[in-house]
Structure 1
Amino acid sequence: MVKTLRRKFIAITMISVTAVFLIIMGIINLVNYSNVYSNANEKMDILASNNGEFPKLDQGSNMPGTNEINTPENTTNVSGEKQNIQMEQMPNYQSGFMGQKRDKKGTFYNFGNNAINEETPFETRYFNVTLSDSGDYISSNLLNVAAISKDSAISYAKELYDKGSVKGIYDDYMYRQIDVDGNKMYVFLDCKRDISSFRTFLIISIIVTVAGEILVFILSAILSRIFLKPVFESYDKQKRFITDASHELKTPVAIIKANVEIIEMENGESEWTQSIVKQADRLTNLTEKMVMLSRMDEGTRTGEFVDLNASELFEEVAESYEPIAIKMNKTYSIDVEKGISLKGDSDNLIEMISLLIDNAFKYSNDGGNVDVTFKKNSKGKVLTISNSVDEIEEGRHDELFERFVRMDESRNSKTGGFGIGLSVAQAIAESHKAKISARSYDTQSIEFKVVF
């Protein structure tokens, strides 16, 4: 139990921290990507609105006073090759882009909804390729990019033409198709630097998240010992008390039973002496089960785990309750599939199925049914003990496995017991790596299922 509690503490801490890291880093990277895409899209809007070029700015003495555009005869690319560029003379806007005025700082210009500064045309890498309506190459402009050759640029454009794509991202280039004089111009904007920065930040954020997770795990593993130390100490005291009390009770119980035997030898048996013996046996049984639970809570195996013929074992135990079914006038059925084996401790498994069947007989309604099945299916090897009841809420009833909880408090005087039988059965099942559950499907019966 102590180890389980510590593992749960660490698990909850790690899940909480992981969720926080993922949310924070996710939001940051999402905003970062949104900014990268938005900035690139703004530049592309400008290029697409101006036939694949940035409009010229009037910068007085800081820029040439001419708006002359290179013609096919005097335009070359970075390799000194002639470029076949079909462009028109552009007007010289004396007040910025498209008649928009320069702001107070004289730095930014507005073009539609986009704001760029005077350096944007020079720091932006872009090119365009024009194809005919049938996909034949007409012209290209590679003056503003150095990382791509003419053949590659044409190849990009033709591949997008064949796919019918009009905009998107291709090989870290944002592209858009526009119509120019009845032809199709593909404008490409180089986003490699921005995308590379985004990817670098994403990788760094992942590394930071993983490093943070490792650090939190180490700290939680260390601090859990400190935070849970009072709980550990309290549990150890409780466990020692149970163990010590069980040993201390054995002697007086043994003396009581011995004295009763002497009284019976002298005066004969009576209902009073038999009641004393019965209650002494109940007290002995209770202390033994409490000690067993204490050991199993710590994950300590009791008994020797070996390969068993579970079918024979369970069927033998189930058949031993047939006389009880006849005596209590209850319908009792046993359906055990042959040849199913398990690895476990036979004494503990016998104790588990006995507790479950005994519980079914105790809490089934008068003249009711008790059914025991053990079969193999896709879920595993399934032991099922079900019994009819007068009324029970439909659904899961895992609360019945809590200690000192009973199905029907009104039947305490009739059934006896202390309400820890199902807790012991659960502990035995878990020690065999099995899952135990309780569920009602129809409000008139309850089913206990153990899946190995």
Structure 2
Amino acid sequence: MIKRLRARFIRIATLSVAVVMLLLTVAVNAANFISTDSDLTETLELICGNEGTIPLPAQETAPGASGEETAPNSSGAADGSDTADGSGTSGGEAAPDSSNQDASPSTADGSGSAAPSLEEAPPDAGSAPGGAPPDDAAVPRPVPAGQRRGGPFTAETPFSTRFFVLRYDDGGTLVQADLDRIASVTQDDTDEFLAAALAHGEGDGYYGSYKFRVVRTGENRRMAVFLDCYQELRAVRAVAVWSLLADGACIALVYLLVVLCSRRAIDPVVRSAERQKQFITDAGHELKTPITVIATSLKVLEMEVGRQKWIDKAQAQTEKLGALVNSLVTLSRMDEEEPPLTFSNFDMSAAVLETAESFRDSAETAGHPLALDVPSGLTVRGDEAAIRQLVSILLDNALKYALPGGIVSLSLRRERHGIVLCSSNPCAPMDPADLPRLFDRFYRPDKSRSSATGGFGVGLSIAQSVAQAHGGSIRAECPAEGTIVFTVTLKS
């Protein structure tokens, strides 16, 4: 019993820690994936919101940074510079009044209008006919510092983010493939990614190591942005693998610590159980002497005064008391760390048949035919005397509680898990909740039936101890109302 208690304590403690750690690992990895997916979603939103590009952070422009020379005087004209027709101001002609001239440099065609900067260019400037973007549409456009977004974005995001953009119509015809920001995808690969976008439809999705988003950009126009997230997904997988390995190591360490500390943890229970067993053993030995004296005195008294009903009743109760003491001592010995059993290979078929035949006459006298189904040649390793006691308990229990005229059946067979011994008999209807408690000591579901059938309610407890001492188990079940079956499984 102590071994089973310790093993159960180790299993429960280790399993509890394992469940908590696995739940924590699942929660951490789920949060990690959700956070990574959220960052990727924000990046896709930024790209889609800027028509397939990532805006650059704002850059301050110093005077003359545009490559144009400024005049040293307030008139805005450069000293010694030629006019558009080749005549310079040093030739004696006065420069035009700067108050009537535009201070911005002239364009190449002499129109005099300044070229707009990237920040001032309208979003659709230079759009090609049919809604297709110009060739330089993939060039990131700077945004003012006050409008710079936070979250996963930094100043390096436009240069470190790898993505490509596919523009197509509703019929699935590719209009443009912008592959300038990706190195692993060529024009030949666009059909594969276009098919994935068409199959998914609008919204976000994953395809391989890419997360993509499909949006509508106009009438009969769609855009699919594929964002390379290989490193992000690899990091998520790495966290998952290492967390599981850490879980395994921690669970193994906890198991080792629980095994080392389990004896000390259950020591109070062990001491209490040992004292209880010692008390039963000592009490049994102390009771045997007065019981023997009482039984002997009753026999002597019967020889002197003759047979009387009072003497017969006293002898019957003395015999019952002696049997109870023997049963309690047997239970106490079976609960020891090492039960006093002698294991050897023996013919279980012969032992079961011989034990069952000893009950045949009493079974027929009680009106219960005995049906045996025991094939020959089945051997098992165990204590033969304990197995015979187990068979006797099952048959005695079946004959006591079988309904009048009911057949008592006993069968033996070999299965994949070992040797199976079954006894069955018709009985009064029972509550299924009472079946597991039949193996408790002194438990009876019907107190009134106890006085009619005799016994002490410890026989099935002994049968369970014998089965467990052989590494097996015993269970009770009611396959049909009014029938009870006890099944013993022993390792062969």
What is the TM-score when the length of structure 1 is the normalising length? 0.78
Partner in structure 1 of residue 47 of structure 2: 47
* SS of residue in 2 equivalent to 1:302: coil
1:437 aligns with 2:475: yes
Partner in structure 1 of residue 103 of structure 2: none
Quick check: 1:178–1:185 contact (8 Å CA) kept in 2?
yes
Describe the superposition over 1:370-424 as per-residue Cα deviations: whole angstroms up to 9, x where unpaired. 2222234566533221122233224670100000012431122232221100000
**Structure 2 unaligned blocks of 5 or more:** 67-116, 122-133
1:2 aligns with 2:2: yes
Separation in structure 2 between the aligned mates of residue 91 and residue 284 of structure 1, nearest angstrom: 100
Partner in structure 1 of residue 464 of structure 2: 426
1:121 aligns with 2:195: no
Which segment drifts farther, 23-32 or 7-16? 7-16
1:173 aligns with 2:236: no
What is the Cα deviation at residue 226 of structure 1? 3.7
1:66 aligned partner, one-letter code: L
Equivalent position to 1:345, from 362, 378, 383? 383
Separation in structure 2 between the aligned mates of residue 243 and residue 393 of structure 1, nearest angstrom: 34
Partner in structure 2 of residue 12 of structure 1: 12
1:108 aligned partner, one-letter code: R
Separation in structure 2 between the aligned mates of residue 424 and residue 94 of structure 1, nearest angstrom: 86
1:414 aligns with 2:452: yes
Quick check: 1:352–1:425 contact (8 Å CA) kept in 2?
yes
Tell me: CA distance 1:315–1:395, structure 2 relative to 1, closer, same or farther (3 Å). farther
Which segment drifts farther, 221-230 or 18-27? 221-230
Partner in structure 2 of residue 370 of structure 1: 408
Superposed counterparts of 1:6-405, under 5 Å: 6-48=6-48, 50=50, 52-55=52-55, 59-61=59-61, 65-66=117-118, 86-88=135-137, 102=146, 106-108=147-149, 119-128=156-165, 140-142=178-180, 144-145=181-182, 148-149=183-184, 153-154=186-187, 156-161=189-194, 168-175=205-212, 187-377=225-415, 380-394=418-432, 397-405=435-443
Separation in structure 1 between the aligned mates of residue 243 and residue 416 of structure 2, nearest angstrom: 43
Quick check: 2:2–2:337 contact (8 Å CA) kept in 1?
no
Tell me: CA distance 1:311–1:154, structure 2 relative to 1, closer, same or farther (3 Å). farther
Which segment drifts farther, 417-426 or 394-403? 394-403
Describe the superposition over 1:266-292 as per-residue Cα deviations: whole angstroms up to 9, x where unpaired. 444444444444433333332332222
Q: Between Structure 1 and Structure 2, whose CA radius of gyration is higher?
A: 2
Tell me: CA distance 1:122–1:89, structure 2 relative to 1, closer, same or farther (3 Å). closer
Partner in structure 2 of residue 74 of structure 1: none
Partner in structure 2 of residue 78 of structure 1: none
Describe the superposition over 1:110-136 as per-residue Cα deviations: whole angstroms up to 9, x where unpaired. xxxx99565532342324578999999
Which segment drifts farther, 28-37 or 391-400? 391-400
Describe the superposition over 1:200-247 as per-residue Cα deviations: whole angstroms up to 9, x where unpaired. 332343244334324433443455434432221111111111121222
What is the TM-score when the length of structure 2 is the normalising length? 0.73
Describe the superposition over 1:299-342 as per-residue Cα deviations: whole angstroms up to 9, x where unpaired. 52433222232222212222222211222223432222333332
What is the Cα deviation at residue 249 of structure 1? 2.1
What is the Cα deviation at residue 177 of structure 1? 6.4
Separation in structure 2 between the aligned mates of residue 155 and residue 17 of structure 1, nearest angstrom: 52
Separation in structure 1 between the aligned mates of residue 389 and residue 250 of structure 2, nearest angstrom: 47
**Structure 1 unaligned blocks of 5 or more:** 70-84, 97-101
Separation in structure 1 between the aligned mates of residue 312 and residue 7 of structure 2, nearest angstrom: 48
Describe the superposition over 1:329-362 as per-residue Cα deviations: whole angstroms up to 9, x where unpaired. 2343222233333222211111011111101111
Count of aligned positions: 421
Tell me: CA distance 1:224–1:354, structure 2 relative to 1, closer, same or farther (3 Å). same
Which segment drifts farther, 123-132 or 423-432? 123-132
